[in-house]
Chain A
């Protein structure tokens, strides 16, 4: 019988053929937590009577959410995390290394892995063909303590991609104004914020080859915004190239979609028909095309996050901002997703271009996305972000308004000061 990618991975882990609805106990390849969830994870671990992880080299702590720390309480949380990691031999990525999911993609996650993280966007690892899902601190503590977790095998919604993004060509990395972010915002708008609840999303079809791994990461990252447990992609030659670029080609394994797989539902998306999309306050599924929102003024633009803080995103923004200036009265805040991204963006001159245009560049990390620091909105202020959530209060003030869009829309909006479709720029 055919299997979805989720069923394939969980069958191999469980040692028998699983079906949707089955409860399985499986080995965990990577368990991680970030500074907002790690202190509770560690306390729960200690509550279990263990002061350490079953597989410390596979347990990872990241200081990325409030990084560098803006307050003494959080500094003390950071101290607690560092002391635990040092004492138990767990891995730790400290201030300046970058966002947990980006570092997981660069350094750890492999096709066929089971990954649990105490952060909802852990599902980004699905881009590399891993069953990666977000859980709470206690589940991750148990995953660390036992090296195992329990999962309900999800039903899968198949998303068949056809066509090519408009403008797709040899210079795709730097010329496309319509991209993975528009695809995933459109999909979430179609499915609804809970349209894939308790289910997996699986992406396949002839359009897949148009998607680079950084773009797949963007799509997988936001799967949770439709309620999905994981957003899975096959592992193909693009996956192999990406892992090679991270000096870990050895981690590559093929994971192919099964034409006989049974999906709970099927959706088809023609990439050539997509437009620049924007999610309006205060829900991610509240989407509209950027053109229909022309005229909405913004006070801030945030280019960054685990969704769109990668090299390709900064490259596209730099291309648009080259020789231009950020509009008067607008703050452009840039948050590279990792140290590696920042270094490469510096080498290639993107950071210089962005800063010359008027941008402020933050230390690699989550930045203003989580509302802790570095870009909190004032009452009635509007921010357009390349991040993944626009919930009320998300950016630290319930009286702020957040729009979500692609790096191209963000850069165009920074230049004009109002929501702008990049195709409409002079």
Chain B
């Protein structure tokens, strides 16, 4: 699958508190409302600027902190096609795959806000169309590729009847 969209830049150490803050705890069972506030404390107004298919491009340790899966869910609900980062925090990374949000580990330092990016998920390639360079992409473990292809963990289990098929 080829995705194309614009880059929105974020720095290092974006936390799940930036993405889905505790002061909006009461919206956790109302994700469409919570999604209107996605990343608000890192970039106010992000939810209204981002267009379907755009990418979040961040530095290191994206998604550190709480295990709240609401964070990748509302990023996906906001229309973000994938998150590209130098590195991801472990729980966020796993959650993102589980909810069908592509997460791509690559060198993001040369990508600037507004760059047009083309991402080939299956082929594992990121191309910065604006600047004309291609990036090496870290490969997902086989299990995660299959979960992502099935559209998330619940769909994966429904399709295959359990986790044993992952062995």
A229 to B89, CA, bound (A): 10
**Given A372-B25, A393-B41, A396-B23: A142 in contact with B157 (beta carbons within 8 A):** yes
Which B-chain residue is minimally distant from A77 (CB atoms)? B29
List A128-181 residues whose CB lies under 8 Å from chain B.
Answer: 134-139, 141-142, 145-146, 148-150, 152
Is the beta-carbon distance between A73 and B26 smaller than 8 angstroms?
A: yes
Is the beta-carbon distance between B17 and A391 smaller than 8 angstroms?
A: yes
Which B-chain residue is minimally distant from A199 (CB atoms)? B90
- Asked if B48 is an interface residue, CB under 8 A from chain A, the answer is no
Measured between beta carbons, the chain B residues less than 8 angstroms from A202 are none
- Asked if B163 is an interface residue, CB under 8 A from chain A, the answer is yes
- Asked if B65 is an interface residue, CB under 8 A from chain A, the answer is yes
**Given A120-B66, A139-B153, A142-B153: A148 in contact with B163 (beta carbons within 8 A):** yes
Is the beta-carbon distance between B26 and A394 smaller than 8 angstroms?
A: no
Is the beta-carbon distance between B67 and A37 smaller than 8 angstroms?
A: yes
Is the beta-carbon distance between B17 and A393 smaller than 8 angstroms?
A: yes
Is the beta-carbon distance between A44 and B154 smaller than 8 angstroms?
A: yes
**Binary per-residue interface labels of chain B (146-158) against chain A in the complex, 1 for a CB within 8 Å, 0 otherwise:** 0000001110011
**Binary per-residue interface labels of chain B (83-112) against chain A in the complex, 1 for a CB within 8 Å, 0 otherwise:** 000010111001100110000000000000
Could you say which of A80, A135, A148, A397 contacts B67, with CB atoms under 8 Å apart?
A: A135
Could you say which of A146, A395, A397 contacts B163, with CB atoms under 8 Å apart?
A: A146
Which B-chain residue is minimally distant from A25 (CB atoms)? B163
**Given A65-B25, A66-B25: A392 in contact with B90 (beta carbons within 8 A):** no
- Asked if A48 is an interface residue, CB under 8 A from chain B, the answer is yes
Measured between beta carbons, the chain B residues less than 8 angstroms from A120 are 65-67, 91
Is the beta-carbon distance between A227 and B90 smaller than 8 angstroms?
A: yes
Could you say which of A40, A44, A73 contacts B27, with CB atoms under 8 Å apart?
A: A73
Is the beta-carbon distance between A197 and B89 smaller than 8 angstroms?
A: yes
A197 to B90, CA, bound (A): 7
Q: Which of B22, B64, B69 has most A Cβ within 10 Å?
A: B22
Is the beta-carbon distance between A150 and B166 smaller than 8 angstroms?
A: yes
- Asked if B124 is an interface residue, CB under 8 A from chain A, the answer is no
Measured between beta carbons, the chain A residues less than 8 angstroms from B28 are 36, 39-40, 77
Q: Min CB distance, A156 to chain B, in Å?
A: 14
Q: Min CB distance, A32 to chain B, in Å?
A: 11
- Asked if A74 is an interface residue, CB under 8 A from chain B, the answer is yes
- Asked if A118 is an interface residue, CB under 8 A from chain B, the answer is yes
Which A-chain residue is minimally distant from B152 (CB atoms)? A138
Is the beta-carbon distance between A370 and B25 smaller than 8 angstroms?
A: yes
Measured between beta carbons, the chain B residues less than 8 angstroms from A139 are 94-95, 98, 153
Q: Min CB distance, B150 to chain A, in Å?
A: 13
Measured between beta carbons, the chain A residues less than 8 angstroms from B152 are 138
Measured between beta carbons, the chain A residues less than 8 angstroms from B91 are 120, 134-136
Measured between beta carbons, the chain A residues less than 8 angstroms from B76 are none
Is the beta-carbon distance between B98 and A136 smaller than 8 angstroms?
A: yes
Is the beta-carbon distance between B158 and A49 smaller than 8 angstroms?
A: yes
Measured between beta carbons, the chain A residues less than 8 angstroms from B26 are 66, 71, 73-74, 372
Which A-chain residue is minimally distant from B21 (CB atoms)? A393
Could you say which of A134, A137, A150, A371 contacts B23, with CB atoms under 8 Å apart?
A: A371
Measured between beta carbons, the chain A residues less than 8 angstroms from B13 are 193, 283
List A332-376 residues whose CB lies under 8 Å from chain B.
Answer: 370-372, 376
List A95-133 residues whose CB lies under 8 Å from chain B.
Answer: 117-120, 122
- Asked if B123 is an interface residue, CB under 8 A from chain A, the answer is no
- Asked if A254 is an interface residue, CB under 8 A from chain B, the answer is no
Q: Min CB distance, A393 to chain B, in Å?
A: 5
- Asked if A8 is an interface residue, CB under 8 A from chain B, the answer is no
A394 to B95, CA, bound (A): 20
Could you say which of A136, A372, A389 contacts B69, with CB atoms under 8 Å apart?
A: A136
**Given A135-B91, A194-B87: A40 in contact with B64 (beta carbons within 8 A):** no
- Asked if A47 is an interface residue, CB under 8 A from chain B, the answer is yes
A221 to B34, CA, bound (A): 28
Q: Min CB distance, B22 to chain A, in Å?
A: 3
Measured between beta carbons, the chain B residues less than 8 angstroms from A150 are 143, 163, 166
- Asked if B68 is an interface residue, CB under 8 A from chain A, the answer is yes
Is the beta-carbon distance between B23 and A397 smaller than 8 angstroms?
A: yes
Is the beta-carbon distance between B22 and A25 smaller than 8 angstroms?
A: no
Is the beta-carbon distance between B143 and A227 smaller than 8 angstroms?
A: no
Is the beta-carbon distance between B69 and A137 smaller than 8 angstroms?
A: yes
**Binary per-residue interface labels of chain B (19-37) against chain A in the complex, 1 for a CB within 8 Å, 0 otherwise:** 0011101111110000000
Could you say which of A73, A141, A148, A392 contacts B15, with CB atoms under 8 Å apart?
A: A392
A32 to B69, CA, bound (A): 15
A66 to B26, CA, bound (A): 9
- Asked if A322 is an interface residue, CB under 8 A from chain B, the answer is no
Contacts A/B (CB < 8 Å), 9 sampled: A25-B166, A37-B69, A119-B67, A122-B67, A134-B67, A135-B94, A136-B94, A150-B166, A389-B65
Report A's interface with B, CB cutoff 8 A.
23, 25, 36-37, 39-40, 44, 47-49, 65-66, 71, 73-74, 76-77, 80, 117-120, 122, 134-139, 141-142, 145-146, 148-150, 152, 193-194, 197-198, 227, 229, 283, 370-372, 376, 389, 391-398
Report B's interface with A, CB cutoff 8 A.
13, 15, 17-18, 21-23, 25-30, 41, 60-61, 64-70, 87, 89-91, 94-95, 98-99, 141-143, 152-154, 157-158, 162-164, 166-167
